[in-house]
Amino acid sequence: MASIIIIGSGLCGTLMALRLAQKGYHVDIYEKRPDMRQANIGGGRSINLALSDRGLKGLEMVGLREKALELVIPMKGRQIHDQKGNQQFFSYSGRQGEVINSISRKGLNILLMDEAQKTGKIRFFFRHECSDIDFDRGVATVKNLETHEESTISGEVILGTDGAFSAVRQAMMRQSGALRFQYSQSFLDTGYKELTIPATPDGGFRLEKNALHIWPREGFMLIALPNLDGSFTVTLFLPFEGEKSFANLHSPTEIKQFFDTYFASATEHMPDLVEDFYENPTSSLCTIKCFPWQVGGKVALMGDAAHAVVPFYGQGMNASFEDCVVLDACMDQFPGEWNHILSAYETARKVNGDAIGDLAVDNFYEMKAATADPVFALKRRIELDLEQNFPDYFSKYSMVTFREDLPYKIAMDKGREQDAQLMEYAKTIFPGQEWNREEVYQMLKNKV
């Protein structure tokens, strides 16, 4: 008999299960996909992820920080590739040690599953799909996808960690009137497709290993994150429609030509480009916000199920792990009182889930604008210079990424104010003119 039910064995669900087991709970996890440790399936919607300080705090909570760090490749900054093949490196931070980490989604998920299994308190039910939730009774209906049998399950609480298309959230949607369920889903006009830069024959990296590579172009871009095996996972972000778009790439020749024109320094390392392009899906990018995140102290949403975000801040997994940290703290605050626990969790996290959703969309537009705007480039230089010279100055990016002590909402509000001031200041500097470091620092210090 489980005391907690978790729907979804992705990163968030498995981390939370592990923590609950450490707290003494028995947990049953239901997952509609097969066990990724046996089946040859992808781990989810993206192959690798950026693990940063908020995520590491979640792993620290369950004692897996060090084990996870064995699986990563640190990325110290952005390696920007222009159309002529020139490269320029921009550090993520002016401070030492502030890096983000490329990690395989599947690799990390398997680490979490294996550790979960070791506790002896967690059972996994793969190929079991949640089809409905009875919120009054706190009971979930699950369907065994092998036998097609349906059964009902219950526990002290049900946690929905079943991702952006969450069945638990859809059950809430079906009770929209009664729950007054606020919901929005918003898609970008840009889609993405994953491609590959393979390792060299001897397992080496074809590009600088410790960087997140970006080929920014106006309105579209290519990025690449390193993998442990020497390969890079490459992602093309491109509008669905329009002149330069997925819709306008009609043939292998056009695809090859497009890449040769805009991304020559990547394309030379992509022997299987055209095959990959046709084989891999073109996916959409969605931000989801909703409220409530919990019903009656019995059912709660966590991770992408509660706040799906676009990937432009590299914070999806980190935000989900932070949900686990907050829920854990709420459990300590109100031992055994799930009504209070879930209500406190919801109150603490809703505003921050929305904030990282907004920040990620901001960054999508910022990444597009950044390539064209010299004022923006200057602003970014000033920011890095400030970070190098003033240990207590943090850019918006740094607050979001490296300051796991600051809620996203505060990072967003402070960061946006800072950005606006810096952009105003950058406009007053003539090309080639030096800026006054101390003056800028005092301006931001006083106001923020």
Of the two residues 182 and 339, which places its CB atom closer to its own copies in the complex? 182
Question: What is the CB neighbour count within 10 angstroms for residue 303?
Answer: 30
Backbone angles phi, psi at 333, to 5 degrees: -70, -40
Q: Which is nearer to its own copies, 191 or 226 (CB)?
A: 191
Cβ closer to its own copies: 242 or 271? 242
Question: Under a CB-based contact definition with an 8 Å cutoff, are residues 119 and 112 in contact?
Answer: no
Nearest CA among 431, 430, 426, 417 for reference residue 375? 426
User: Does the protein bind its own copies through residue 339 (CB under 8 A)?
Assistant: no
Cα of first residue to Cα of last residue in the chain, in angstroms, is: 52
Residue 57 carries which side chain, given as an amino acid letter?
Answer: K
Closest distance to its own copies from the beta carbon of 176 (Å): 6
How many residues sit in the footprint of its own copies (CB under 8 A)? 17
Q: DSSP character for 32?
A: S
Find where tokens 């024109």 sit.
261
CB 16 within 8 A of CB 158: no
In 3D space, the residue among 182, 205, 206 whose CA is nearest the CA of residue 290 turns out to be 182
Binding flag, residue 152, its own copies (CB under 8 A): no
CB of 283 to its own copies, least distance (A): 7
Per CB under 8 A, the list member of 88, 283, 339, 389 interacting with its own copies is: 283
Tokens of 206: 């074809």
Candidates 27-35, 180-188, 244-252, 439-447; binding stretch for its own copies (CB under 8 A): 180-188
Least separation in angstroms between CB 312 and its own copies: 17
> Considering beta carbons, is residue 200 or 284 the nearer one to its own copies?
284
- For its own copies, the binding residue among 182, 253, 339, 347 (CB under 8 A) is 182
| Stretch in the footprint of its own copies (CB under 8 A) among 55-63, 177-185, 293-301, 439-447 | 177-185
- Quote the CA–CA distance of 215 and 226 in Å, as a whole number: 15
How do beta strands 87-91 and 27-31 pair?
unpaired
Choices 263-271, 279-287, 399-407, 433-441; region in contact with its own copies by CB under 8 A: 279-287
State both tokens at 353: 């889930």
Indicate the residue type of 111: L
Beta bridge mates, 187: 286
Structure tokens, 184: 């929005």
Closest CB to its own copies among residues 188, 386: 188
Q: Under the criterion CB under 8 A, does residue 240 sit at the interface with its own copies? A: yes
Q: Which among 27-35, 122-130, 173-181, 228-236 is the span making contact with its own copies, rule CB under 8 A?
A: 173-181
In angstroms, the Cα distances linking 294 to 161, 168, 209, 269, 444 are 12, 10, 42, 47, 39
- Provide the minimum distance between the beta carbon of 44 and its own copies in the complex, in angstroms, as a whole number: 14
Binding mask 382-411 for its own copies (x = CB under 8 A): ------------------------------
| Contacts to its own copies from residues 183-202, by CB under 8 A | 183-189
In the complex with its own copies, which residue's Cβ is closer, 84 or 180?
180
CB of 441 to its own copies, least distance (A): 39
Under a CB-based contact definition with an 8 Å cutoff, are residues 10 and 109 in contact? yes
Say whether residue 286 binds its own copies (CB under 8 A): yes
Cβ(415)–Cβ(395) under 8 Å? yes
Which residue, 144 or 282, has its beta carbon nearer to its own copies?
282
Helices (runs of H) and strands (runs of E) counted in the chain: 16, 19
Q: Which is nearer to its own copies, 132 or 156 (CB)?
A: 132
Q: Which C-beta is closer to its own copies: that of 174 or that of 445?
A: 174
Distance between CA atoms of residues 130 and 200, nearest Å:
43
181 is a contact residue toward its own copies (CB under 8 A): yes
Binding site for its own copies (CB under 8 A): 176-178, 180-189, 240, 283-284, 286
